[in-house]
Structure 1
């Protein structure tokens, strides 16, 4: 991740197991979702005497939202406790909020809800600590460590080797590297062993009982890769290819098939299939709740704008939405002018165009509230990359590589960049670059829990007050 990026507290775990046969990591990914599901079942059996439909449906939804859970096996104990409690508060808050909005909360008694609220995180903590205590035994049951070598000493190959050395729970040990370059030309700060040239790999694999081979060669070396793969057919080792720098910046990267032909997704929208349905349903329910709850405030702001400056209450500005198509975004008017041409000047500190009441609205982000109508219309989402003026889009898409990737999804009222301080004026290219990197990270690691976290973080930022919005 780029140095600008804080580590997302609840994003999808990126320290994945080196191989998919690592029983410990597979167990961990299932553990907490299963505990959440079974604890709800326990409450149902305790209160109803059987597993009724409301419990079954809710448990399946919760399992889907929380699977796979982030890895905690490397965390300090206090961080595990904090992570589980905070994640549970966010998840429980969402469930109870939706239940209150839809009226389904009446299907559960207050006693059941209270019991479930403290039972679940307690069981989660117990389960995680039991898993940590039994981790070494689980690894032993899986058998002896796999022996691995890496073909190609480059950035991604060294990163893999460092991960294997650092991870005490891995089932794989790295014996060294093979590379055709002279040892003095290789960047080998950690002193990894150079075992030979690429032509030596096949014989070495046979003689040293190598289980796994990682090919960390640039894609331009395709002939060498094909030749090496042909030679390795005479071994029983598992072979993996590490993508070079051209392929490391994946957006929702995954393997798939088209009529039996294997394909690799390099850049794909995270909102497909059931994920798209959950995202849209969440947007509609939260938007309706906010607009109904804050309708008196919306009326008061409208009156305040009319009383403090002449002009319209709402301001419509053309922005780029999903797939780069133009949409009209609604905001409360905070300026004496409504720029929407080919040269839009960003608001700056002490900007003379901002009205006194408008300054308050911008500082508290209340000017963004009409965008919940955009969400209901379906051209915006509650969480996503913030939309920029069309003029700014046309300028920055020429200056920042990958800028338009953010338009693979609907723009949001709030986003990952905004809750990390990248809000308001972007007077330098570096600031806009950092914002775009956060937007792309949001797409790369999206999960429904991430959206929940960003919503709550946005509320906290507004309450606390954050510099940068003028």
Structure 2
């Protein structure tokens, strides 16, 4: 799937190339040599024609395709072929304009300036890649586990596509003992090295072995998911075709091809596609803005006044919750309780003495959650997703429930599939949290915009009629 880093790079390339093209024209125009030969109308036509031919040439050469922007070499090669195609289109196009002599030394000056400009864009990307690795915030940091030939092929693919992937290591056998060169007496296992990598901001683990083939691998893969690291399985094309039916009937699902190598995952994730993430984010922005502008603009000061009149303290309650990839963020709520020292450790319960009178009404109708639309607008949360839990509860339940941390692959939501199916409020029993986790994972595997809209409508309907677990 196309990564966020590559998507940002593609958008950046399109914008910078357009700027380079138009600025090169502006530089030649600013020199004054064009004014003596062409009218403003003719120059406007020439500028539009330059942009059109570049757009057509880049489309033909797939200049901004995700496969062609993952290495510096391909960036330069596609730029040159696109430039030559554009020049050919200009020659053919301008040859038909007989009453205006466009094709001359001035056009070559514009093209030369454009070539220098688009080359400079790619040189900037190259030098930033070499000298400022911290700028590559959205690269996928990955490791490969496996002693198969496939591992070396995959390693070459990731090293070739450095603009998309940051290969942290390729471990041929994670049970092999390694002697530290600085201290020959100190012996580490690659298994511990992989564990260290997983616990330190890794994004994905690729393995040529499956848990069914290697018992020791299962612990590493469980550790990966507990640290919000995605696990992907590598198989040969021949093996994939031979076992395609068994893969289809098992928990493994085809995800992608890397250099002809099939990559499998153990669950569907529609939101791993950049297009789906854009759709969901646009829905979040539009919906949250509508709520903030038309509701919270007047409702927020009104509720703040009522809350302050009943009890001392701030009207808004900020609490650290677990976000996407388990990164903490401050979740906004209307304060529904009297100020107390247990607010960050103890869940609200039925007939909780800490809850104020207006707080009980807000919690019953879910009004206390409305400020979280600011979290949505700021990108901390989504309108629909797994509900964010307190940091203490995330730590506790991650040790008790398998796949608990998988729900953190998504942004947390104001409402979710689990909430509209009865799993909201206090979770006294282990089974209640287990049910919530299963519903959250189901939502992750079956996401669609229609499902989000359905959950929103169901949430509003439940709030109006009231819910038994809302307290």
* TM-score (normalizing by structure 1): 0.47
Bigger relative contact order (CA 8 A; separation at least 6)? 1
Answer with 1 or 2: which has the greater Rg.
2
